Amino acid sequence: MNVTLLNFTPDPEKTVVLAAKLCYSDSSIGELEEKVRGISYEKFLGKILNMGHHSVLEHVSFTFGIEGISRATSHQLVRHRIASYSQQSQRYVAFDEGFEYVTPNSIASNTAIKKDFEKTINTINRVYKRLIDLGIPPEDARYILPNAAATKIIVTMNARELLHFFHLRCCERSQWEIRDMAARMLLLVREKAPIIFSKAGPGCVNKGRCTEGEFTCGKPDEIREKFRNLSINKNYV
């Protein structure tokens, strides 16, 4: 899996601070720019976000390039509606060299079943190529492709939606692949907007208590530690 930050709103935290200040001030926008110079963004944003004034977060967006995730995961990702997506098409792209795929660790670590998995993928690949060679359009040949087939997607989300996305998808209740992807996204945005995303993560991190009820993983301290120490070379699953 490869997750990169392609673009983002410049000065994200200043943008959010300006938007919030504007709501409570009779100053012109030019004067506001002067007024926010030198104030503590941490204190001001902390207050605003604690009040639940989260709409100001919608003024900043982040665009990610994501490669090497499975179609199973991209399907989970695109259930998040407050976002924009552009995904590599299986209708227009024929995988002449065979399709790439993702193997879950639970399968990769079981030698016997891994063989069966790979054998099945190879059979699918062979029949897929045969369909293409026979002139079947890629949009129909793709019906044979599995959930494991790898995909590429460009995603844009605003900061408010990202916090919601991290709340759901960084949680241990989410599947390992989307959890891994969400952690990588969080790491990238935290570098650009450390105040906004300082407490981002599952309920035990952002609310200070598990929000999953009977489905709790039961290890909030471990999870909090993980989100305190996110780093690029870590395996997040």
Ligand X SMILES: Cc1cc2nc3c(=O)[nH]c(=O)nc-3n(C[C@H](O)[C@H](O)[C@H](O)COP(=O)(O)OP(=O)(O)OC[C@H]3O[C@@H](n4cnc5c(N)ncnc54)[C@H](O)[C@@H]3O)c2cc1C
Residue of 200, 160, 204 whose CA lies nearest to 182 = 200
**Applying CB under 6 A, which of residues 59, 114, 129, 164 lies at the interface with ligand X?**
164
Residues of span 100-159 touching ligand X by CB under 6 A: none
Buried b (16+ CB within 10 A) or exposed e, 22-61: eeeeeeeeeebeeebeeeebeebbeebbeeeeeebbebbb
Residues of span 169-198 touching ligand X by CB under 6 A: 173-174
- Cβ 36 to ligand X, closest distance in Å? 29
Give the catalytic positions in this structure.
169
**Applying CB under 6 A, which of residues 10, 50, 51, 79 lies at the interface with ligand X?**
79
Task: Tell me whether residue 25 or residue 174 sits nearer to ligand X (CB atom).
Answer: 174
Token pair of 133 as six digits:
């060679």
Do 193 and 45 form a contact (C-beta atoms < 8 A)?
Answer: no
**Applying CB under 6 A, which of residues 23, 82, 93, 113 lies at the interface with ligand X?**
82
Judged by CB under 6 A, which stretch of 97-105, 133-141, 168-176, 196-204 contacts ligand X?
Answer: 168-176
Judged by CB under 6 A, which stretch of 58-66, 128-136, 167-175, 186-194 contacts ligand X?
Answer: 167-175
Q: Does 81 bind ligand X (CB under 6 A)?
A: yes
Torsion angles phi and psi, residue 61, rounded to 5 = -125, 155
Task: Tell me whether residue 3 or residue 182 sits nearer to ligand X (CB atom).
Answer: 182
The DSSP 8-state label assigned to residue 57 in this structure reads G
Token pair of 95 as six digits:
């995988």
- Cβ 159 to ligand X, closest distance in Å? 13
